[in-house]
């Protein structure tokens, strides 16, 4: 992935701090295209369960994985080259695809589904965070069940108080709504 020159040294330092915390099992908040996201290491069950508890979200619903590029996702997804091209035509950007999951995707990420939701995020901070972590991260809107998602860092900090390990500062101004969700196999729009 090419370097993202638009990010300031201060923002890059924040991203590096957040990435270190994610690799250590932390839960962080960061801006995405439309809303603030909560993220953690998808392979760390304790971190994912902590994130789900913060949101009051049941594990059976499943979670989204975001990545810096499709190469980070390939161990997690079972798709053909043609299907990859379909996804790449919408990335980076606010389109999430439901795709067949490999055995690498743990049940606490998939929920009750045989698929996993994946996206190469178009927001430079979220994308660089994935690059710094070195693999996809869990991404779910920063809110509790039934509440509107947070769009600014101050709201995240008020809503989650001291429950998060870090909040990366930034703007969510690239999309008006949370990501569209498409089913790769059926081509159906699930959300958006």
Answer yes or no: is 54 within a domain. Answer: yes
Of 88, 20, 89, 87, the residue nearest 100 (C-alpha): 87
> What does the pLDDT read at residue 192?
66
Reduced to 3 states (helix: H, G, I; strand: E, B; else coil), residue 157 is helix
| Residue 7, pLDDT score | 87
Report pLDDT for 161.
82
The verdict on residue 66 lying in a domain is yes
Provide the Cα torsion 155, 64, 188, 76; round to 10°: 160
1 occurs within a structural domain: no
pLDDT per residue, tens digit, the chain (192 aa), is: 344 457 889 999 999 999 999 999 999 999 998 899 999 999 999 999 999 999 999 999 999 999 999 999 999 999 999 999 999 999 998 899 999 999 999 999 999 999 999 999 999 999 999 999 999 999 999 999 889 999 999 999 999 988 999 999 999 865 566 678 899 998 899 876
| pTM (predicted TM-score) | 0.92
Domain count of the chain? 1
Residue 125 lies in domain = 9-191
3 domain-assigned: no
* Spatial CB neighbours of 11, under 8 Å, sequence gap ≥ 6: 125, 168, 169, 170
């Amino acid at each position: 992935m090419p370097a993202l020159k638009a990010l300031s040294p201060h923002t890059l330092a924040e991203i590096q701090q957040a990435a270190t915390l994610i690799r250590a099992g932390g839960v962080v908040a960061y801006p995405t295209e439309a809303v603030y996201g909560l993220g953690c290491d998808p392979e760390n069950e304790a971190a994912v369960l902590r994130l789900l508890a913060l949101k009051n979200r049941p594990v059976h619903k499943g979670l989204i994985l975001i990545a810096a590029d499709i190469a980070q996702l390939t161990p997690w997804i079972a798709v053909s080259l043609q299907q990859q091209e379909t996804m790449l035509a919408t990335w980076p950007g606010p389109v999430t695809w439901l795709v067949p999951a490999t055995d690498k995707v743990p049940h606490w990420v998939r929920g009750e589904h045989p698929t996993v939701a994946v996206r190469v995020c178009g927001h430079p901070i979220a994308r660089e965070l994935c690059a710094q972590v070195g693999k996809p991260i869990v991404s779910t809107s920063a809110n509790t069940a039934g509440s509107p998602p947070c769009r600014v860092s101050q709201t995240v900090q008020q809503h989650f108080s001291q429950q998060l390990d870090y909040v990366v500062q930034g703007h969510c101004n690239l999309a008006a709504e949370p990501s569209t969700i498409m089913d790769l196999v059926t081509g159906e729009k699930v959300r958006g």
